[in-house]
A and B are shown apart, each in its own frame.
Chain A
Amino acid sequence: MSVTEEHQSQLSDKLRHNLEKGLHDVQARWTVPTAFLNDPEVHDVERERVFGRSWVYLAHESEIAKPGDYVVRYIAEDQFIVTRGEDGNVRAHLNSCRHRGMQICRAEMGNTSHFRCPYHGWTYNNGGKLVGVPAGKEGYDNKLEKADWNLRSIPQLDTYKGMIFGCLDPHAESLSDYLGDFKFYLDIVMDRSDAGMEVVGAPQRWIVDANWKLGSDNFVGDAYHTMMTHRSMVELGMAPPDPMFALYGEHVHTEHGHGIGIIGPPPGIPLPEFMGMPDNIIDEMKARLKPEQVEIFRPNNFIHGNVFPNLSIGNFMISKDHVSAPTAFLTLRLWHPLGPGKMEVYSFFLVEKDAPDWFKEEGYKTYLHTFGISGAFEQDDAENWRSITRVLAGQFARKGDLNYQMGRGALTPDPDWPGPGVAYPMDYAEANQRNFLEYWMELMLEDRPVSDKPSEAHRSPNGAQGNGKVEALAGTKETVEA
């Protein structure tokens, strides 16, 4: 057996059968097996075949603005130090000493020029290079080749509009190709201003005993749940009172499972254009975005979406309470998988760096009181997702199907939509969710070998799309040797 074959996970006959059935059903019947939402084997395979191959969001460049700044983030169980070097380049090193595997950084965030391992004192600079080994002469006779024992770099790292993504598969396509047509929609949210976005403070982190896919499934296309899950907010006047509000929206998905929903106010409801964003941001946005992007954004109140696999976007114009006027805010969130029935949510609040203080303050308050761990909307989402996960643990429950038939036989793609992807002319639809799960099932079934060897195509990450350069090269030497 070759090295590459050793790295390939095997599917049980039962799971393979379920995935093949699921792929057939999602296209032919618009259903998906329940078995994928709380099953230990699904989770094991998923870590390798989904999280081991996809571009996974790690951090935002504004979180590590200065040289030496770092945050510690994850792709499934793998822990990476995402840091900006003295040269300004962004890197991600596995947070594990090359000597005996100790965590070299046990803080979540900070600023440092070097990382010294607490176990035996091996010291690395924040470029990942091993620069100091205690007792190098006495213990190693000066023969330890330090250059061979740098921190392992993430196989691929790249940024898009300030968002830093990592990928464990050195053969995976570039981030730009992976995002593909979805970049058109990401730009509408992330690229409105010249100075770019900033993460305020740090993400809220908390545990929900629910499968991570339920978060992605909700954000990728589910406007439908608003009127029941968030009925309490409808009653307080904080969610749309019109049960048909999502008819005034668009439901769009692209390749690789990405999807977005974009909803405006019903005709005759006087809400400000561009979510009431500050004038200076609207001016910059009009100059930065394409005319068709500007027109898509102009009537919006709600944008929800998901970058496959687990990065969700919420750009909502809501009120912070029952007596205040609505303000727009932007949240990114990670549904970080911790097990078949457990996830950790990382909920980030972002705002345009050059927005006026009133907008930053109102946006922060509105985000906090609606989404996040204490948000009046998201509290109820978490309750639903954990209850679904619990009830689908049963062996009988796992033999059922989930219904994704909204719009079946009635909904046809929108011929007039000015953006890329497959678009439907209202946001009461589940095509995005089917597209998300279809791509997930394709990845799960793909018996592609996984290798540590980097491919030539990916040795030069395209940093030009971000605000800074990225470097995933420090580990090339050791991965070649592996």
Chain B
Amino acid sequence: MTIEAQTPQTQVVDTAVREITEWLFAEAALLDAGKYREWLDLMAQDLHYVVPLRVTREREAETDIIEGMTLMDDDWDTMEMRVLRLETEYAWAEDPPSRSRHFVTNVRVVGGDKDDEFKVASNLLLYRTRGDVPTYDILSGERHDVLRRVDDGFHMVQRVVVLDQTTIMTHNFALIM
């Protein structure tokens, strides 16, 4: 997959930037509150949510992202399955729940491939603790989203979360990034 650099020349108008930034913050608030059903309502039916698998390669290598295998590769149905799972009383991985904080920074918005779409890049620092253990997990990454304007705001069409790790320093991806 290719991830395009975004240059200041292609920045869209301020109002859209403000709306989209607020949307990302509101999304993070839902995730940190464990409101996954409400979060799913923000997803487009043609959602594609991917967390690529990276490996350590030399600088001269074309890419450090693996083709054919990922850490997550969801569509709307599989995402609904994750939400339904968390709604059962037996989702031990998140019951008791983690405490999480999605730190969303460095938001960059450019026009998308379609008139009603935007490409949105953001940096994510996900902080996670579980139980009373005095340790924490931190995941750092860059999210590349495609947001589509709908009547009541935006729906997310695509998210690619490129994490800054090869060996992932958390015991599972029970949280959405």
B77, CB-defined interface residue at 8 Å = yes
CA distance A478 to B155 in the complex (A): 63
Q: Are A379 and B90 in contact (CB under 8 A)?
A: no
Residues of A within 8 A of B51 (CB): 374
In contact, A382 and B71 (Cβ under 8 angstroms): no
Total A-B Cβ pairs within 8 A: 127
Q: From known contacts A107-B56, A206-B167, infer whether A201 and B66 are also in contact, taking CB-CB under 8 Å.
A: yes
Q: Are A368 and B73 in contact (CB under 8 A)?
A: yes
Tell me the smallest distance from the CB of A53 to a CB of chain B, in Å.
26
Instruction: Indicate whether B80 reaches chain A with its CB closer than 8 angstroms.
Output: yes
B85 to chain A, nearest CB (A): 5
Residues of A within 8 A of B84 (CB): 236, 322
Q: Provide the bound-state CA to CA distance between A22 and B41, in Å.
A: 54
Is A207 an interface residue, CB under 8 A from the partner?
yes
For the complex, is B91 an interface residue (Cβ under 8 Å from A)?
A: yes
Q: How large is the interface on B (under 10, 10 to 19, 20 to 34, 35 or more residues)?
A: 35 or more
Q: 1/0 per position for A307-336, CB-CB distance to B under 8 A?
A: 000000000000011111000000000000
User: In the complex, what residues of A have CB within 8 A of residue B69's CB?
Assistant: 200-202, 204, 349, 364
The distance from the CB of A81 to the nearest CB of chain B, in whole angstroms, is 13
Q: Is the CB of A321 within 8 A of B133?
A: no
- Contact status B81-A205, CB under 8 Å: no
Distance of A372 Cα from B66 Cα, bound (Å):
16
The answer to whether A231 and B90 have CB atoms under 8 Å apart is: yes
CB distance from B124 to the nearest CB of A (A): 16
**B residues in contact with A207, CB < 8 Å:** 167-171
In the complex where A201-B53, A201-B67, A380-B91 touch, is A321 in contact with B77 (Cβ < 8 A)?
yes
Give bound CA distance, A201 to B50, whole Å: 15
Which residues in window 68-104 of B have CB below 8 A to A?
68-74, 77-78, 80-82, 84-85, 88, 90-94
Known: A322-B80, A369-B74. A108 touches B55 (CB 8 A): yes
* Residues of chain B having any CB pair with chain A under 8 Å: 51, 53, 55-58, 61, 66-74, 77-78, 80-82, 84-85, 88, 90-94, 133, 135, 166-174
Kindly list the 3 A-B residue pairs having the minimum CB-CB distance in the complex, ordered from nearest: A201-B69, A374-B173, A231-B90
Instruction: Give the B-binding residues of A (Cβ under 8 A).
Output: 106-110, 200-202, 204-210, 228-229, 231-233, 235-236, 238, 320-324, 344, 349, 364-365, 368-369, 372-374, 376, 378-380, 382-384, 386, 390
Chain A to chain B contacts (Cβ below 8 Å), 23 pairs: A107-B61, A108-B57, A201-B66, A201-B67, A201-B68, A201-B69, A201-B70, A202-B53, A202-B55, A202-B66, A204-B168, A206-B169, A206-B170, A207-B168, A207-B169, A232-B92, A236-B84, A364-B73, A373-B71, A379-B172, A379-B173, A379-B174, A380-B93
